[in-house]
């Protein structure tokens, strides 16, 4: 950072009149070096920035401190008998375009400083008699020596538009009172500081977000661990079973399990959800065979129920969700594990057998370390994906109704993950402020787990062990 500021200071002290003038008119330094194309382009960009900021962005940026003060009102014109609307503020647009305006200003400042340093560099090149690229030569470099800049320009712009701006906007919403009672354009919302965060981590007689958050967070982490490692080890076991020498028709067995992948997960989950519904085909079979009565006698089914609540009671639903996820996820892991198992060096296996190792020892001492080494990054990715897994939970529990008032007051269910709770808060209850706070928590959890996981993987370099 110190070097960066020293370069700017040097450019100001040693720069000539045209270099210093470029702080006022960005293209002046280029024109002094007979690079009129660049000079005109930079000047036009500067003019466009000030026009855009002055006429568009500034009217939103200057209202960011209050997010608007004039509320929408309709008045009846007695002369024309028509309703007229006043010039009102829209808090949502003020926040959105205010954030975009600040980012544009930040980008322009970076360009402004870079331009000043570039002009000073051109001044030095001119003083030493070195060649200064023309605009045509710079464009040619973008498809040759600087081709990486051309390739990355659109992806970086896409990341900023699709990821960075929405994330910053979501973070800002978490510090406002944007909910169902403060819906633009009819009503205004404003800044409330850390009130929403305190509300998420505390509970009262009427507000129970703290009660629900702790329990949903625990279930989210438990679900992520169970879903990830059950499908991971299940896929490895299934792959080893099919690869066993005593198993015949290996291609047929693989094909049968791959068929489950061919069916879209969305369709599978909806179908399985109907099958295990309170009045689905599975409950009909259990009722006719007497299994429902047996479970009622031993206390696993409530006395007032004529069905097994596979997906409508907390304990049953938690277990069934994990089991159904195993059915959906194991075939994917089986395909990955099959390819990796076939590439484990047979010399290690044979050497271990000669040394007297049994199948169990070979599996835990050779197979699993190799599998974890190869699939470590994908395993961590699967863990993060399961924390944000929406389809399995949401599609299987559409008919779930909570009887716990603490959950109900927080618009949550016992089977919700943080991400499904977030979706329910926004889609069903328009509680954007609390959804944004939960979104920040999910982001922090995923970021911490990812950083810790990949740091340990990089630190534990075991590549030489598997050469």
pLDDT digits 0-9 by tens, 264-320: 888 889 999 999 988 899 999 999 999 999 998 888 888 888 899 999 898 999 999
Query: Is 176 strand, coil or helix?
Result: strand
Sign of the dihedral through C-alpha 363, 365, 370, 376? positive
pLDDT at 440 over 90: yes
Sketch out the chain's domains with CATH numbers: 2-193 (no CATH), 206-276+311-466 (1.10.3720.10)
Q: What pTM, to 2 d.p., does this model score?
A: 0.84
Q: Checking DSSP bridges between strand 74-77 and strand 82-85, what pairing results, if any?
A: antiparallel
**50 contacts: CB under 8 Å, gap ≥ 6:** none
Over 90: is that where the pLDDT of 220 sits? yes
The answer to whether 273 and 396 have CB atoms below 8 angstroms apart is yes
Reference 260, options 320, 324, 339; nearest CA is 324
- The strand pairing partners of 75, in sequence order, are 84
pLDDT in tens, 349-391: 778 888 788 878 888 888 888 888 888 888 899 999 999 999 8
Distance CA 252, CA 47 (A): 68
- Specify the DSSP class assigned to residue 191: B
C-beta of residue 399 within 8 angstroms of C-beta of residue 312:
yes
| Planar angle of CA 426, 315, 334, nearest 5 degrees | 85
Helical ranges in 300-404 per DSSP H = 314-341, 346-354, 359-362, 368-387, 391-396
How far apart are the C-alpha atoms of 426 and 96, rounded to whole Å?
Answer: 17
* pLDDT > 70? residue 401: yes
Would you say residue 458 has pLDDT above 80?
no
């Amino acid at each position: 950072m110190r070097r960066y500021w020293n370069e700017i200071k040097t450019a100001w002290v040693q720069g000539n009149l045209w270099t210093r003038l470029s702080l006022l008119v960005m293209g002046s330094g280029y024109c002094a070096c007979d690079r009129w194309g660049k000079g005109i382009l930079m000047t036009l960009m500067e003019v466009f920035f000030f026009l855009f900021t002055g006429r568009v962005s500034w009217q939103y940026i200057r209202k960011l401190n209050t997010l608007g003060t004039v509320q929408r009102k309709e008045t009846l014109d007695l002369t024309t008998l028509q309703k007229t609307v006043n010039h009102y503020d829209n808090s949502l647009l003020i926040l959105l375009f205010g954030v975009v305006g600040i980012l544009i200003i930040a980008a322009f400042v970076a360009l402004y400083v870079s331009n000043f340093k570039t002009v000073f560099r051109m001044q030095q090149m001119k003083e030493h008699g070195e060649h200064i690229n023309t605009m045509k030569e710079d464009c040619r470099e973008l498809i040759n020596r600087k081709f990486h800049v051309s390739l990355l320009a659109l992806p970086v712009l896409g990341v900023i538009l699709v990821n960075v701006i929405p994330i910053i906007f979501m973070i800002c919403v978490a510090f406002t009172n944007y909910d169902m009672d403060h819906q633009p354009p009819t009503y205004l919302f404003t800044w409330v500081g850390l009130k929403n965060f305190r509300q998420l981590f505390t509970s009262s007689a009427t507000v129970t977000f703290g009660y629900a958050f702790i329990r949903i967070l625990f279930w989210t982490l438990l679900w992520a661990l169970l879903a990830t490692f059950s499908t991971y080890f299940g896929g490895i076991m299934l792959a080893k079973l099919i690869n066993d020498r005593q198993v015949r028709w290996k291609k047929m067995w693989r094909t049968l399990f791959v068929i489950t992948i061919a069916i879209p997960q969305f369709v599978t989950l909806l179908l399985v959800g109907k099958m295990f519904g309170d009045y689905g085909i599975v409950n009909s079979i259990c009722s006719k065979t007497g299994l429902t009565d047996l479970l009622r006698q031993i206390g696993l089914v409530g006395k007032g129920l004529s069905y097994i609540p596979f997906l409508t009671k907390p304990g049953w639903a938690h277990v069934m969700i994990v089991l159904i996820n195993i059915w959906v996820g194991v075939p994917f892991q089986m395909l990955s594990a099959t390819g990796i198992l076939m590439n484990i060096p047979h010399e290690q296996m044979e050497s271990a057998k000669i040394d007297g190792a049994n199948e169990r020892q070979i599996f835990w001492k050779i197979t699993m370390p190799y599998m974890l080494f190869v699939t470590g990054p994908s395993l961590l990715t699967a863990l993060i994906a399961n924390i944000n897994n929406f389809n399995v939970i949401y599609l299987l529990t559409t008919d779930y109704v909570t009887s716990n008032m603490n959950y109900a007051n927080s618009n949550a269910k016992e089977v919700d993950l943080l991400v499904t709770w977030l979706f329910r808060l926004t889609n069903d209850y328009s509680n954007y402020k609390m959804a944004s706070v939960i979104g920040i928590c999910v982001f922090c959890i995923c970021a911490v787990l990812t950083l810790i996981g990949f740091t340990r993987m990089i630190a534990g370099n075991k590549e030489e062990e598997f050469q």
